Amino acid sequence: MKSRKTLWFWCCLLGLIVFLTVFSSLLAPFSPNKMNMEEVYSAPSSEHWLGTDHLGRDVLSRLLEGGKVTLAVASSSVILSLVIGVVYGGISGYFGGVIDTVMMRLLEALITIPSLIIILVFQAIIQGGMWGMALLIGLTGWLVTARIVRSEFIRLKEEEFVKMANMFGTPVWKILWGHLLRNSIPAIFVVTLFNFAGAIFMEVSLSFLGIGIPPAIPSWGNMLYYAQNDILIGAWWIALFPGIMIFLTILAINFIGEAWKNPERRRVND
Amino acid sequence: MIEVKDLSIEIKDQHITKHIDFTIRRGKITSLIGESGSGKSMTVSALLGLLPIDAKVSGYVMYEGRNILDASVQEMASLRRQDIFTIFQDASNSFNPSVKLGHQLYTFSGERVGDTLDVFNEKMHVILDQLGLAWEVVEQYPFQLSGGMLQRCMIACAFYVEPALLIADEPTSALDMVLQKEFIQLLIRLNEERGTTILLITHDLDIVAEAAHEMAVMQQGTIVEMGTVETVFSNPRDAYTKRLLESRF
C-alpha cells in the first residue's frame, strides 16, 4: 500500500514535469531567447520568478523550453534504442544456436566500450545538432535492452503455452508478437525507463561539456554549461533550477522503474 | 485407430524406447502407464511428430492407413491442427498469461475448426455451462483462475473441437484429489457423449482403473504388458505390473 502511494507520487511529479515542458510555449511567461540588456543577472523576483541570465533572458522560460529539448532528445533516442534492442535481442533469443552466439559476442564487445566515449568522438566529428545527438544516444543505448529481450525470449519460448501454440501451427510472427514480446513487456518497460533516465543524463553531460545541443537552443545541459561562469559572480539561480529539474526528473524515473521492477507487479513469474 | 509398431527412439545414442508396440482403438480410452523416465512422453512426442531434432526414430505409427512418421512437416501440422488435441500437465502454463481467456479459447477451438467468433461464442457458452464454468471466465486472465478451472477450460476446447484423438499427458498431476476425480469424470463424459478416442498418459493406477478401457504398461522404454484394464488388473503377467498393482493396495 505504501509503495503504491510512493509510486503514485513519483508518477505525478514526472507527469507534471512532462506537462510543463510539453506546453512550455504556452506556459512560459517570456520568449526563451528574448534578451533584455537592462535586466542582466537580476535575482528571482515577482516579474522574473527564477531570475534572468547574463543576457537578461528569463530563466523560467528557458527552463521550460530547455526541458522540452532535453526530454525530446531523450525520448526519441530511447524509442530508437528500444526498437533496435527488441529486434536484435528478439532475433538472438528466438533463433538461438550459432546466430545467438555470434550476436551475443558482438554485443559483449560493444558493451565494453563506454557509450559516452563513442558519443563524444562521433559528436566531435559530425558536429551534430539536436537530432544528431538523439541518433547517437539511441544507437549506443540499445545494448542492455537487447540483452533483456533475449533472456526473456529464451525463458518464454520454453514455456508450455508457447510450445502449445507451436504445436497448433500458429504462425511464427504471431508467436513472436503475441506470446513472446507481449509477455516481455514488463521487463522491457523497466529497462526502457532506466534507459530514459540514462539518455537525459547523457544529453546533460554532453551539453555540459559544450559539445551537445548547439548554444542557440536552450536545454537543461546547455543552461548548466553557461551557468558555470555565472556562479562565480554569485548568480546562483541560473545553475540551481536546471540542476533541480534534472535531479527530480531522473529521480522520479528511477523510483518508478524500481517500483515496476518489483516482481509482485508482474504476471509471469520468473 | 492408431497402431504403433516396432517404435524405437534414440537420442544421442541413448535408447528412449525400444521396439514398442501398442494400439489405440477408436472410441476407447487407452492408458499408457509407467514411472517417470519410462519413455511415455517421448512416445507421445513421436506420435505428434514433435521429437527433438537430434532424435533418431524407427518403426511405424499407422494412422488411417499410413505411417505418420514419414509424413511431411505440413501434413503433420495439419494433422495436429485438425485431428489431434493435446492437454498438458499444467494448464496454468498452457495459456498465454497476458491474453484474456476468451481469445485463447477461440484460438484453441473455434479458429482451428474455422468457426467465426459469433458461432464460437454461441457454442462455447453452452459447453462452458455444461462444464460448470461461468461465461465470465472469457473476460479473465489465466492467472485469475485456479489450475482446476483452467484444466476444465482446456477440456472445454476438446469438447468444442471434437478431435479424432485426444492426448492427455498427465492431465491431473497438478490437481488435488477432488479436482482429479472431477476431471476424470469429464474425460469419461467426453468419451461417452462424443465418442472421442482418448490416449491418457499417467503414472497413477487409480486413474487408469477409473477411466481407461485398455492399458499399456511401460517400463524403461519397453511395453511390458498390454490389454484391457480388467484382464491386466485381475491377471497381471509381468513382474513389473504385479509390483505396480501390489503397491496400489
ipTM reported for the complex, 2 dp: 0.74
The per-residue pLDDT for range A200-248, each reduced to its tens digit, is 999 999 888 888 888 888 899 889 988 888 888 888 888 899 999 999 9
Q: Which three three-digit cell numbers place residue B3?
A: 497402431
Could you tell me if residue A191 is inside a domain?
yes
Paired strand residues for A58? A52
Burial class (CB in 10 A: 0-12, 13-18, 19+), B2: buried
Mean pLDDT of A88-106: 94
How far apart, in whole angstroms, are the C-alpha atoms of residue B164 and residue B2? 11
**A169:B99 CB<8 A:** no
The beta-carbon neighbor of B143 closest among A159, A161, A267 is A267
A134, A221 Cβ separation under 8 angstroms: no
Place of cell 539536436: A130
Residues whose CB is less than 8 angstroms from the CB of residue B56 and which lie 6 or more positions away in sequence, other chains included? B9, B10, B11
For chain A, the average pLDDT equals 88
Q: How far is CA B194 from the centre of its chain?
A: 16
CA–CA separation, B190 and B206 (whole Å): 19
Whether pLDDT at A80 is above 90: yes
Q: Which amino acid is at B140?
A: Q
Structural domain count of chain A: 1
Residues in chain A closer than 8 A to B94 (CB atoms): 160-161, 164
Q: Which residue of A has its CA nearest to B84?
A: A168
What are the start-end ranges of the H helices in chain A? 2-22, 24-27, 59-95, 97-111, 115-126, 130-140, 143-157, 160-167, 172-174, 182-208, 220-232, 237-261
Residues in contact with B34: Cβ distance below 8 Å, sequence separation at least 6, in sequence order:
B40, B203, B217, B218, B219
Confirm if A91 and A151 have CB atoms less than 8 A apart. no
- A-chain residues within 8 Å CB-CB of B171? none
Interface mutation vs chain B, best among A156, A161, A181, A184, most B CBs within 10 Å: A161
Task: Tell me, rounded to whole angstroms, the distance of Cα B147 from its chain centroid.
Answer: 17
pLDDT value of residue A263 = 59
In the three-class reduction of DSSP (H, G, I as helix; E, B as strand; rest coil), residue A52 is classed as: strand
**A216 backbone dihedrals φ, ψ, rounded to 5°:** -65, -25
Is A175 part of any domain? yes
Q: What is the pLDDT at residue A233? A: 84
- pLDDT surpasses 90 at A50: no
Mean of pLDDT values over A251-263? 85
Chain A residue with the nearest C-alpha to that of B75: A169
From chain B, the residues in CB contact with A179 under 8 A are: 96
What was the pLDDT predicted at B171? 84
Burial A215-226 (b: 16+ CB within 10 A, else e): eebbbbbbbbbb
Cα gap B153→B103, rounded to integer Å: 12
Alpha carbon of B51: minimum distance to chain A alpha carbons (Å): 12
Dihedral sign, Cα of residue B29, residue B34, residue B36, residue B41: negative
- Asked, for residue A43, whether it belongs to a domain, the answer is no
Establish if A41 belongs to a structural domain: no
Cα–Cα distance, B45 to B57 (Å, whole number): 11
Asked if B98 lies within 8 A of A164 by C-beta distance, the reply is: no
Residue A198 lies in a domain: yes
A177–chain B Cβ distance below 8 A for any pair: no
State the Cα–Cα distance between residues B222 and B220, nearest whole angstrom.
Answer: 6
Q: How far apart are CA A191 and CA A256, in angstroms?
A: 11
Write the residue in B78, B86, B93 that is nearest to A161 by C-beta.
B93
- For the record, the C-alpha cell of B78 comes out as 495439419
User: Has residue A22 been placed in a domain?
Assistant: no
CB A78 within 8 A of CB A199: yes
A157/B contact by beta carbon, under 8 A: no
Residues of B in contact with A165 (CB under 8 A): 96, 107
Task: For chain B, say whether A98 makes contact (Cβ under 8 Å).
Answer: no
Counting as low any pLDDT under 50, the low residues of chain B are: none
Please give the biggest Cα pair distance in chain B.
Answer: 55
Q: Find, among B103, B148, B144, the residue nearest to B121 by Cα.
A: B103
The span from the CA of A147 to the CA of A108, in Å, is 10
Of B103, B66, B108, nearest to B86 (Cα)?
Answer: B108
Q: Would you say residue A56 lies in a domain?
A: no
8 Å CB contact of B98 and A169: no
Can you give the pLDDT at residue A268? 43
Choose among B93, B98, B107: nearest Cβ to A267. B98
- Model confidence at A270, pLDDT cuts 50, 70, 90, reads very low
3-state secondary structure of A44: coil
| pLDDT value at residue A2 | 63
- pLDDT on residue A198: 93
Yes or no, beta carbons of A183 and B97 under 8 Å apart: yes
In this predicted model, what pLDDT tens digit does every residue of A123-164 receive, in sequence order?
Answer: 888 877 888 889 999 999 999 999 999 999 999 988 888 888
Give the span between the Cα atoms of A112 and A116, in whole angstroms: 12
Read off the CATH number of the domain in which A160 is found: 1.10.3720.10
| Contact list, A161 vs chain B (CB under 8 Å) | 93-97
3-state secondary structure chain B: CEEEEEEEEEECCEEEEEEEEEEECCCCEEEEEECCCCCHHHHHHHHHCCCCCCEEEEEEEEECCEECCCCCHHHHHHHHHHCEEEECCCHHHHCCCCCCHHHHHHHHCHHHHCCCHHHHHHHHHHHHHHCCCCHHHHHCCHHHCCHHHHHHHHHHHHHHHCCCEEEEECCCCCCCHHHHHHHHHHHHHHHHHHCCEEEEEECCHHHHHHHCCEEEEEECCEEEEEEEHHHHHHCCCCHHHHHHHHHHC
Q: Residue A264: what pLDDT?
A: 61
Q: How far is CA B143 from the centre of its chain?
A: 23
Contact present, A213 and A130 (Cβ < 8 Å): yes
Determine the angle formed by the axes of helices A97-111 and A59-95, rounding to 10 degrees. Answer: 150
Residue A243 lies in a domain: yes
Query: Which residues of chain A neighbour B96 with C-beta distances below 8 Å?
Result: 161, 165, 178-179, 182-183
What's the whole-number average pLDDT of chain B? 86
Task: For residue B80, give the nearest of A168, A178, A185 by CB distance.
Answer: A168
Range of the domain at A211: 72-265
Q: Are B75 and B123 in contact (CB under 8 A)?
A: no
Nearest-Cα distance to chain A for B69, in Å, is 16
Contact present, A252 and A197 (Cβ < 8 Å): no
Q: What is the 3-state secondary structure (H, E, C) of A88-115?
A: HHHHHHHHCHHHHHHHHHHHHHHHCCCH
